[in-house]
């Protein structure tokens, strides 16, 4: 497997490099020093040696605390007014096709800022073909989606609002709706100087709002920052397994507990495709929309994932390593929601990438060699689950804000007046 960036120090790779570049963007001190401290200071001597050996042979970054703020792009600075506008727009279904579905519909704060079914709900009349990702901490990611297909939150928002099975909106109608809402006219003018709201600025405001939905004070952050009491004994044992025997650190590392690389870990195809016609239709629609050749379109029985980025057969069935942060609230798991609990996920890894019925990936040729039976006993599995939970702090909830109303362009009186 390739590593994002190789440097002299064996463990400075992948996500840590991202953390460093984020720190540079923020203009603050490099976070790498802090991470290294966490790395050295928090492990028992035995597991420290194990991790160091592992790190030097594989180039794994250590786990690291999340910086307090995500990087802010130079051309979309955060302001309170912009974030407030972005919040309204995130919850506003008028940024969508039939004005019934907003970002928050599929990224519901009370469902982990995601959607708590295997496949996400879709645009009315459809189901989505993938599990909804949480937008928690999405500002820290170098790219969006299970296949990382979009480079920024500013670019992600329109693809969500316009995507056929997501928002299914049209620019001109969404722009017209915003123009008919006086409160938005006022706010877009104040924030962006727009005479009339420009749709591009709606996406920028939403991205700014998303950058405020973060969690960086979890038990693991506290622990890595030196508070040894922040993890239970069970979690400390789970951490040693995570970094040692269970090998999770090979991919779930750095500040996000993800190296942002792509792997086929053996997740079996969605059972729902066999039972649910609508889900099957979306799957074929997406294969077609993403430019599959005819054979793939007709025969694929599993999601080709990262394949669509470069149409390389070795990418079939690969997905971005997800962050483990906030996963206490984001079940079900994996790109297709194959597992409903963290226990099931750990059982799956323990079996070497097979579910309880012995099913595995539909793309066996690309399955990662890093995934093999782990031989964990029940106590060890419980320790590992407890440790994964340390990547989540308290649940972050948010009520839907009151949305501004449309106003008619003119009143009946004005119309009568104009007709005279």
- Indicate left, alpha or beta for 136 from its phi (over 0: left) and psi (-120 to 50: alpha): beta
3-state secondary structure of 303: coil
Which of 49-57, 60-68, 315-323, 412-420 is the region at the interface with ligand HEC (rule: CB under 6 A)? Answer: 315-323
Provide, rounded to whole angstroms, the least separation between the CB of residue 400 and ligand HEC: 14
Among 302, 346, 362, 366, binds ligand HEC (CB under 6 A): 346
Provide, rounded to whole angstroms, the least separation between the CB of residue 194 and ligand HEC: 18
The residue (of 176 and 351) whose beta carbon lies closer to ligand HEC is 351
Q: Which of residues 87-106 bind ligand HEC (CB under 6 A)?
A: 101, 103, 105-106
Provide, rounded to whole angstroms, the least separation between the CB of residue 308 and ligand HEC: 10
Alpha carbon 167 to chain centroid, angstroms: 18
The residue (of 116 and 251) whose beta carbon lies closer to ligand HEC is 251
Q: Which of residues 122-161 bind ligand HEC (CB under 6 A)?
A: 122-123, 128, 130, 132-133, 135, 138, 141, 144-146, 153, 156-157, 160-161
Among 250, 282, 292, 390, binds ligand HEC (CB under 6 A): 250
User: Site size for ligand HEC, by CB under 6 A?
Assistant: 54
Q: Is 55 in the site for ligand HEC (CB under 6 A)?
A: no
Which residue(s) pair with 254 in the sheet?
63
Q: Which two tokens stand for residue 118?
A: 């295997």
Q: Which of residues 376-395 bind ligand HEC (CB under 6 A)?
A: 384, 388
Cβ neighbours of residue 206 under 8 Å, at least 6 residues apart? 86, 89, 90, 103, 153, 157
φ, ψ dihedrals at 41, nearest 5°: -80, -15
The residue (of 34 and 320) whose beta carbon lies closer to ligand HEC is 320
The residue (of 37 and 296) whose beta carbon lies closer to ligand HEC is 296
Provide, rounded to whole angstroms, the least separation between the CB of residue 298 and ligand HEC: 21
The residue (of 34 and 339) whose beta carbon lies closer to ligand HEC is 339
Binding to ligand HEC by CB under 6 A, coded x per residue (else -) over 177-206, reads: -----------------------------x
Q: Is 349 in the site for ligand HEC (CB under 6 A)?
A: yes
Q: Is 215 in the site for ligand HEC (CB under 6 A)?
A: no
Backbone CA torsion sign across 106, 213, 257, 157? positive
The residue (of 23 and 246) whose beta carbon lies closer to ligand HEC is 246
Provide, rounded to whole angstroms, the least separation between the CB of residue 134 and ligand HEC: 7
Nearest to 88 by CA among 209, 228, 212, 2: 209
Binding to ligand HEC by CB under 6 A, coded x per residue (else -) over 262-281, reads: -x-x-x--------------
Provide, rounded to whole angstroms, the least separation between the CB of residue 205 and ligand HEC: 10
Which of 47-55, 215-223, 326-334, 398-406 is the region at the interface with ligand HEC (rule: CB under 6 A)? Answer: 326-334
Footprint of ligand HEC on this chain (CB under 6 A)? 101, 103, 105-107, 120-123, 128, 130, 132-133, 135, 138, 141, 144-146, 153, 156-157, 160-161, 166-167, 206, 246-248, 250-252, 263, 265, 267, 319, 321-322, 324, 327, 330, 333-335, 342, 345-346, 349, 368, 370-371, 384, 388
């Amino acid at each position: 497997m390739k590593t994002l960036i190789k440097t002299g120090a064996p463990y400075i790779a992948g996500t840590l490099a991202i953390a460093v570049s984020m720190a540079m963007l923020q203009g603050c001190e490099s976070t790498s020093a802090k991470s290294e401290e966490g790395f050295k200071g928090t492990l028992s001597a035995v597991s420290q040696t194990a991790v160091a050996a592992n790190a030097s042979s594989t180039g794994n970054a250590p786990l690291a605390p999340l910086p307090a703020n995500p990087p802010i792009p130079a051309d979309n600075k955060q302001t309170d007014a912009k974030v407030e506008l972005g919040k309204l727009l995130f919850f506003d279904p008028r940024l969508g096709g039939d004005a019934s579905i907003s970002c928050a519909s599929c990224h519901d704060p009370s469902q982990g800022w995601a959607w708590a079914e295997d496949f996400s709900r879709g645009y009315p009349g459809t189901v989505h073909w993938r599990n909804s990702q949480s937008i928690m901490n999405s500002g820290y990611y170098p790219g969006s989606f299970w296949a990382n297909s979009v480079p920024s939150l500013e670019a992600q928002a329109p693809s969500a609002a316009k995507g056929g099975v997501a928002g299914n909106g049209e620019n001109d109608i969404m722009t017209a709706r915003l123009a008919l809402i006086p409160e938005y006219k006022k706010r877009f003018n104040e924030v962006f100087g727009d005479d009339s709201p420009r749709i591009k600025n709606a996406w920028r405001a939403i991205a700014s709002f998303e950058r405020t939905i973060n969690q960086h004070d979890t038990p693991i952050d506290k622990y890595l920052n030196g508070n040894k009491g922040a993890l239970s004994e069970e979690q400390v044992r789970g951490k040693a397994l995570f970094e040692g025997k269970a090998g999770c650190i090979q991919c779930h590392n750095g500040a996000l507990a993800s190296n942002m690389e792509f792997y086929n870990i053996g997740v079996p195809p969605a059972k729902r495709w066999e039972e649910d016609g609508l889900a099957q239709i979306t799957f074929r629609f997406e294969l077609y929309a993403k430019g599959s050749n005819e054979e793939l379109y007709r025969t694929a029985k599993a999601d080709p994932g990262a394949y669509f980025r470069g149409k390389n057969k070795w990418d079939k069935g690969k997905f971005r390593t997800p962050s483990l942060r906030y996963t206490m609230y984001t079940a079900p798991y994996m790109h297709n929601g194959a597992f409903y609990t963290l226990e099931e996920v750990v059982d799956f890894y323990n079996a070497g990438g097979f579910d309880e019925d012995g099913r595995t990936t539909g793309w066996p040729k690309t399955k990662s060699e890093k995934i093999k039976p782990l031989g964990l006993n029940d106590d060890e599995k419980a320790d590992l689950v407890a440790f994964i939970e340390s990547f989540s702090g308290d649940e972050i909830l948010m009520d839907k804000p009151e949305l501004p109303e449309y106003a008619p362009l003119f009143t009946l009186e004005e119309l009568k007046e104009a007709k005279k």
